[in-house]
Amino acid sequence: MALIDRPRAGTPAAAERPATGGLPPLLLAVDVACAAAVLAASGPRAAGVGIFTAALVASCALLGLYRARLGLALLDDLPFLLTAAVGSLGLSTVLDVLLDAVSVDGTLVLVLGAQTALVVAARAVAYAVVRRGRRSGRMAQRALIVGCGGLGAQLAGILGRHEHGLRPVGFIDDDPRLDAAQRPLPVLGRLADLARVAREQGVGVVVVGWSNAPEPVILDVLRGCHRLDVEIYTVPRFWQVQSTHRLVEVLDGVPLVRLRRSAFRATTWPLKRVVDVTASAAGLLLLGPLLLCCALAVRWEGGPGVLFRQERIGLDGRRFQLLKFRSMSPGTGEADTRWTIADDERVGRVGRWMRALSLDELPQLWNVLRGDMSLVGPRPERPYFVERFSRDHDEYLWRHRVPCGITGWAQVHGLRGDTSIGERARFDNYYIENWSLWLDVKILLRTVVQVLTAAGA
């Protein structure tokens, strides 16, 4: 079952990074270089400059001054730079009063003011250099425009000036509204071809200017690009009357919202596997006595055959053998086409007790350690039901974009057993599109609370 269109190794899209990707480290380097210059000349006030610099960098990060951007305007950043500087000076003053960590006097204030002015000037130079590099084409990134209509043509004109680091190469649309003679760029394919065309053209940015296609179709196409190394920007509906905020890119009056990067492209994603391996190995060791007791109880009630193996569908539609403690009599395991056995009379007292406390799921720690699953993710399902639910619910297959899990966002919201599949798919896709390590921690904590609550019920 092929669910994900993976980029091939060595293709241009896999090798290139978006042009805006180098901006955050450049701006951070500028601020650090300014601090180093001031530190070298600050003498006995070096401690105050160091604390101010650390606070300034942290404040700039929180205010979004290191984010990747298409548009660069120092005057837009200036109020936030000054806010960060004032806040950092305030923190230095508090540390002086409470801890006597620095000596804030008039001279130090002048030094820090000079450092702030140096940062502003250095950023102005950096922005000018980046804009020049973009206009010359040395820092331009190839871009695709979704939607060959009036808005698409307007975007092609804006991006074609190369002031924003993008070089549009063509349109993607099923039903172009512009005649061939009116098109400033060629139509390179249909919506379903977006991922393929992006790879073949070495595209690093996709700009969605809308088309005649229904929104669910465009949504599916964009989700199918989640493994591509591209940034996706979209023009919001009713953008002509919509107010904008500073985290929205505005290119010649047209607002662009950058979509959140897929979980696989998050900088913290590799840590998820580190947590899985560490926690599952520790769990198998620490819960060894409990696992042994469960195994003995299952053996006592139903005889040999403590573990139950069942084929499930995981990441990208791959099949694997999921492990559980057997909760039914040997030879009468869960059928591959039976949805729930909650009221099945073949479930013994031990099996029912373990299922109520989710103890039958503990052997899946081995699946996590092997890499079949994660601690947190959409629950895996049997092949029969994956095929069935995928036919009945448009969003169901998109649950397989990340590894499946022992617990998940849907489960901690009560969507277990015989509950709405559509609701589960909606919760699971929310988890995938908003993934963070902290969200995993929240789900694990809520799972523990639910298990303990069930144990005390």
Measured between alpha carbons, how far is 255 from 154 in angstroms, rounded to an integer?
12
Closest CA relative to residue 82, chosen from 57, 116, 122: 116
SS3 content of the chain, % helix, strand, coil (to 5): 55, 10, 35
Residues 6+ apart with CB under 8 A from 366: 280, 284, 323
- Single residue among 259, 283, 317 that ends a domain in this structure: 259
Instruction: Give residue 10's pLDDT.
Output: 37
* SS3 (DSSP) at 321: strand
Measured between alpha carbons, how far is 196 from 121 in angstroms, rounded to an integer?
43
Into how many domains does the chain fold?
Answer: 3
Residue 12 lies in a domain: no
Residues 6+ apart with CB under 8 A from 21: 68
Residues 429 and 301 in one domain: yes
Residue with tokens 């979980």: 263
**Residue 343 burial (C-beta neighbours within 10 Å; 0-12, 13-18, 19+):** exposed
Residues 6+ apart with CB under 8 A from 220: 394, 398
Q: Domain range holding 427?
A: 269-456
Q: Which two tokens stand for residue 26?
A: 């450049």
Do the beta carbons of residue 389 and residue 418 sit within 8 Å? no
Q: The domain spanning residue 195 has which CATH number?
A: 3.40.50.720
Instruction: Give residue 362's pLDDT.
Output: 92
- Single residue among 207, 224, 259 that ends a domain in this structure: 259
Q: What are phi and psi of 328, to 5 degrees?
A: -125, 170
Residues 413 and 312 in one domain: yes
pLDDT in tens, the chain (457 residues): 444 444 333 333 333 344 455 788 888 999 999 989 988 887 777 888 888 899 999 999 988 888 888 888 889 889 999 999 999 888 888 877 776 666 777 888 888 899 999 999 999 999 999 888 888 877 888 999 999 988 899 999 998 887 788 899 999 999 888 888 889 999 999 999 999 999 999 998 999 987 788 888 888 888 888 888 888 998 887 665 555 666 688 888 888 888 888 888 888 999 999 999 999 999 999 999 999 998 998 888 877 778 889 999 999 999 999 999 887 766 555 556 565 555 556 677 877 888 878 888 899 999 999 999 999 999 999 999 999 999 999 889 999 999 999 999 999 998 887 789 999 999 999 999 999 999 999 999 999 988 888 655 5
Instruction: Give residue 105's pLDDT.
Output: 78
**Which one-letter amino acid corresponds to residue 129?**
V
Residue 126 lies in a domain: yes
Residue 175 lies in a domain: yes
Taken as a whole, the chain contains a residue count of: 457
Measured between alpha carbons, how far is 195 from 180 in angstroms, rounded to an integer?
23
For residue 358, give the H/E element and its range.
none
Q: Which two tokens stand for residue 124?
A: 């102005």
Other beta carbons within 10 angstroms of residue 17's beta carbon come to 11
Instruction: Give residue 240's pLDDT.
Output: 58
- For 341-374, what is each residue's pLDDT tens digit? 555 566 778 778 888 788 888 999 999 999 999 9
Residues 92 and 228 in one domain: no
Measured between alpha carbons, how far is 203 from 217 in angstroms, rounded to an integer?
21
Residues 255 and 321 in one domain: no
Closest CA relative to residue 113, chosen from 166, 44, 34, 179: 34
Residue 214 gets the label, from left (phi > 0), alpha (psi -120 to 50) or beta, of beta
Residues 415 and 282 in one domain: yes
Q: Using alpha carbons, list the distances in angstroms from residue 255 to 70, 218, 238, 244, 258.
A: 11, 19, 10, 7, 10
Strand 374-376, strand 405-407: pairing? parallel
Residues 125 and 196 in one domain: no
Residues 121 and 203 in one domain: no
Measured between alpha carbons, how far is 384 from 378 in angstroms, rounded to an integer?
17
Residues 6+ apart with CB under 8 A from 54: none
Residues 132 and 145 in one domain: no
Residue 3 lies in a domain: no
Residue 68 lies in a domain: yes
Residues 6+ apart with CB under 8 A from 101: 47, 51, 95
- For 45-100, what is each residue's pLDDT tens digit? 788 888 889 999 999 998 888 888 888 888 988 999 999 999 988 888 887 777 66
Residue with tokens 């709405």: 420
Sign of the C-alpha dihedral, residues 45, 47, 50, 54?
Answer: negative
Residues 114 and 176 in one domain: no
Measured between alpha carbons, how far is 215 from 221 in angstroms, rounded to an integer?
10
Residue 9 lies in a domain: no
Q: Which two tokens stand for residue 453?
A: 């609550």
- Single residue among 259, 290, 306 that ends a domain in this structure: 259
Instruction: Give residue 101's pLDDT.
Output: 61
Residues 310 and 200 in one domain: no
Measured between alpha carbons, how far is 58 from 70 in angstroms, rounded to an integer?
22
Measured between alpha carbons, how far is 55 from 87 in angstroms, rounded to an integer?
8
Residues 34 and 84 in one domain: yes
Measured between alpha carbons, how far is 86 from 78 in angstroms, rounded to an integer?
12
Do the beta carbons of residue 150 and residue 174 sit within 8 Å? no
**Residue 92 burial (C-beta neighbours within 10 Å; 0-12, 13-18, 19+):** buried
Residue 38 lies in a domain: yes
Residues 251 and 275 in one domain: no
Q: For 208, how many CA atoms within 13 A lie in the half-sphere containing its CB?
A: 25
Long-range contacts of 6-11 (CB under 8 A, 24+ apart): 6/227, 6/316, 7/195, 7/199, 7/227, 7/228, 7/229, 8/199, 11/199, 11/200, 11/202
Residue 130 lies in a domain: yes
